[in-house]
């Protein structure tokens, strides 16, 4: 059994912001032209200017918090490329590029791989199995939490172990509204998480209860507001401004929640974290 990362209480631990290195992709070609998750409605109009404004506000928020933000050039015909979190898992400078489930997104792998190679990352490998990057793989402490059930295969979890040399905890998602792990669980710091229990199988909930006994449990309303699709630096937590109760609980526990309007990107089933790939050195 893995040692629990929850060595510090979520209630009393000191909160310290740590500078993050992030990769984003502007939504130049963003639209909802196909449906590959329950949130995508091809009949719902998308305002591209508003999407760009919301994305720019998110990027500026990170920079104002002192984080480094790099951008990758968007490619025509890849409207979901804005959701950079799905592009890869980056850990200790190593890169495992995504192997997307749906044909509509598979072209993103080559576009992102080219950026990593040109930027000097090494090694850079494309996943052999279905693996949707940090959408389904979240590092907390010395462990990777890896989702499965909709987009990332269990076989990919073994590849993660082999490639990165770290323990991987498999978590099964069972609600199609929460098709990626980062829609149902947020890493807050090296010891603590928030999650929506209803998104997971009963055995996975038991695993999370054992590993993180002092987690923030989020209700369905805030989960469906994509409150858990959040980016934390250990103190500041950037998340959907619609998740009001979660923001209150974060504040009560010593974090600094920063609500951002991601309503246009939400039409494709993504919010702050989906737009953000962490380049973990």
What span, in angstroms and rounded, lies between the C-alpha atoms of 225 and 269? 10
Give residue for tokens 């998750």: 37
191 is catalytic: no
For 161, counting Cβ atoms within 10 Å of its Cβ (0-12 exposed, 13-18 middle, 19+ buried), the class is middle
Peptide bond preceding 123: is omega within 30 degrees of 0, i.e. cis?
yes
Angle at 97 between CA 142 and CA 133, to 5 degrees: 55
Q: How many CB atoms lie within 10 A of CB 117?
A: 14
Cis status, amide bond into 46, omega within 30 of 0: no
Q: Which of 25, 224, 274, 275 is catalytic?
A: 274
Tokens of 152: 């990332």
Sign of the C-alpha dihedral computed for residues 102, 105, 111 and 114 taken in this order: negative
Catalytic, out of 157, 180, 191, 275: 180
* CA atoms of 128 and 179, how far apart (whole Å): 20
How would you class 58 by CB atoms within 10 Å of its CB: exposed for 0-12, middle for 13-18, buried for 19 or more? buried
Residue 221's H or E segment, with its range, is helix 220-224
Q: Is 157 a catalytic residue?
A: no
Catalytic residues: 180, 274
């Amino acid at each position: 059994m893995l040692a629990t990362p929850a060595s510090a209480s979520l209630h009393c631990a000191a909160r310290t912001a740590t500078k993050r290195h992030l990769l984003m992709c502007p939504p130049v070609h963003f639209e909802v032209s196909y449906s590959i998750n329950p949130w995508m409605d091809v009949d719902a109009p998308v305002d591209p200017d508003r999407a760009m404004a919301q994305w720019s506000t998110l990027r500026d928020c990170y920079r104002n918090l002192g984080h480094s933000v790099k951008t990758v050039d968007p490619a025509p015909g890849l409207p979901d490329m804005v959701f950079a979190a799905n592009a890869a898992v980056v850990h200790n400078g190593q890169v495992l590029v995504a192997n997307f489930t749906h044909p509509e997104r598979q072209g993103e792998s080559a576009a992102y791989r080219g950026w990593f190679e040109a930027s000097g990352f090494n090694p850079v490998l494309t996943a052999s199995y279905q693996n949707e990057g940090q959408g389904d793989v979240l590092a907390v402490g010395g462990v990777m939490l890896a989702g499965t059930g909709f987009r990332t295969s269990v076989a990919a979890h073994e590849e993660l172990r082999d490639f990165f040399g770290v323990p991987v905890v498999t978590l099964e998602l069972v609600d199609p509204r929460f098709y990626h792990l980062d829609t149902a669980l947020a890493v807050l710091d090296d010891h603590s998480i928030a999650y929506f229990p209803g998104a997971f199988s009963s055995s996975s909930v038991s695993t999370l209860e054992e590993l993180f006994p002092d987690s923030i449990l989020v209700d369905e309303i805030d989960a469906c507001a994509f409150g858990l699709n959040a980016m934390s630096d250990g103190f500041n937590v950037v998340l959907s401004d619609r998740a009001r109760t979660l923001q209150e609980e974060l504040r009560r526990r010593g974090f600094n929640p920063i609500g951002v309007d991601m309503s246009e990107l939400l039409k494709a089933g993504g919010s702050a974290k989906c737009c953000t790939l962490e380049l973990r050195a």
